[in-house]
A and B are shown apart, each in its own frame.
Chain A
Amino acid sequence: MGYGRLLKIDPVVVEWNYNIEYRHSYAEDSPFFMALGRGRLLGSKCKSCGFKYGTYRKYCMYCGSETDDIELPLHGKVHSFTTCYYSGETFRGDVPYTLVLVEFPGVDSLFMSRLFINSGEKPEIGMDIVAQFKKFQTFTVNDVYFVPA
Chain B
Amino acid sequence: MADNQRKVYMIAGGVTPFKKINFNDDFRLNVKHSLDYALKDSGMKTEDIDGSVSAYFSDHLQGQLIAGAMSNDFIGLAGKPSKRIEGGGATGGLAFQTAYEEIASGTMDTCLAYGFENMSHVGTWRGNDIIALGSDASFDYPLGGFYTAYYALMATRHMYEFGTTEKQMAMVSVKNHGNAMHNPYAQAPMDITVEDVLKSPVVSSPIKMLDICLMSDGAACAILASEEVAKSVSGKPVLIKSIGSSSDTMRLADRPFGKVPLLPNENDSMYRDLKYPGVHSFRAGRLAARMAYRKAGITSPEKEIDFAELYDAYTSAEIQAYEDMGFCPYGQGGKFVEDGRSMLDGDIPVNMEGGLQASGHAIGATGIMQAVYAFWQLQETVHKHLGSNRLQVKNPQRGLIHSHAGTGAYEAVTIMEAV
Where the two chains meet, the residues of A that have a C-beta atom closer than 8 Å to any C-beta of B are: 8, 11, 13, 18, 24, 26, 29, 53-55, 57, 61, 79-92, 94-95, 97, 99, 101, 108-114, 125, 140-142
User: Any chain A CB within 8 A of the CB of B348?
Assistant: no
Shortest distance between the CB of A55 and any CB in chain B (Å): 5
Shortest distance between the CB of B122 and any CB in chain A (Å): 8
Chain A neighbourhood of B140, CB < 8 A: 112, 141
CB-based contact B149/A24 at 8 Å: no
13 CB < 8 A contacts A-B: A8-B23, A18-B60, A80-B153, A80-B157, A84-B146, A84-B152, A84-B204, A88-B144, A89-B125, A95-B144, A97-B144, A101-B279, A112-B145
Chain B neighbourhood of A84, CB < 8 A: 144, 146, 148-149, 152, 203-204
In the assembled complex, the Cα of A48 lies from the Cα of B314 at a distance in Å of 39
CB-based contact B139/A85 at 8 Å: no
User: Any chain A CB within 8 A of the CB of B251?
Assistant: yes
User: Any chain A CB within 8 A of the CB of B253?
Assistant: yes
Shortest distance between the CB of A131 and any CB in chain B (Å): 14
The answer to whether residues A61 and B252 also contact, given A80-B160, A85-B203 and a CB cut-off of 8 A, is: no
User: Any chain A CB within 8 A of the CB of B392?
Assistant: no
CB-based contact A99/B153 at 8 Å: yes
CB-based contact B129/A88 at 8 Å: yes
Number of B residues contacting the other chain (C-beta, 8 Å)?
45
User: Any chain A CB within 8 A of the CB of B315?
Assistant: no
CB-based contact A80/B253 at 8 Å: no
Chain B neighbourhood of A8, CB < 8 A: 23
Chain B neighbourhood of A18, CB < 8 A: 60, 63
Beyond A108-B256, A125-B157, 19 additional contacts (C-beta under 8 Å) are A53-B254, A55-B253, A80-B153, A80-B154, A82-B206, A83-B202, A84-B144, A86-B128, A86-B203, A88-B128, A88-B144, A90-B129, A99-B143, A101-B157, A112-B153, A112-B253, A140-B142, A141-B143, A142-B143
Shortest distance between the CB of B233 and any CB in chain A (Å): 36
CB-based contact B202/A85 at 8 Å: yes
In the assembled complex, the Cα of A81 lies from the Cα of B157 at a distance in Å of 8
CB-based contact A101/B125 at 8 Å: no
Q: Mark B101-144, 1 if CB is under 8 A from A, else 0.
A: 00000000000000000000001011011101000011111111
> CB-nearest residue of chain A relative to B202?
A85
User: Any chain A CB within 8 A of the CB of B267?
Assistant: no
Partner of A85, one of B63, B204, B252: B204
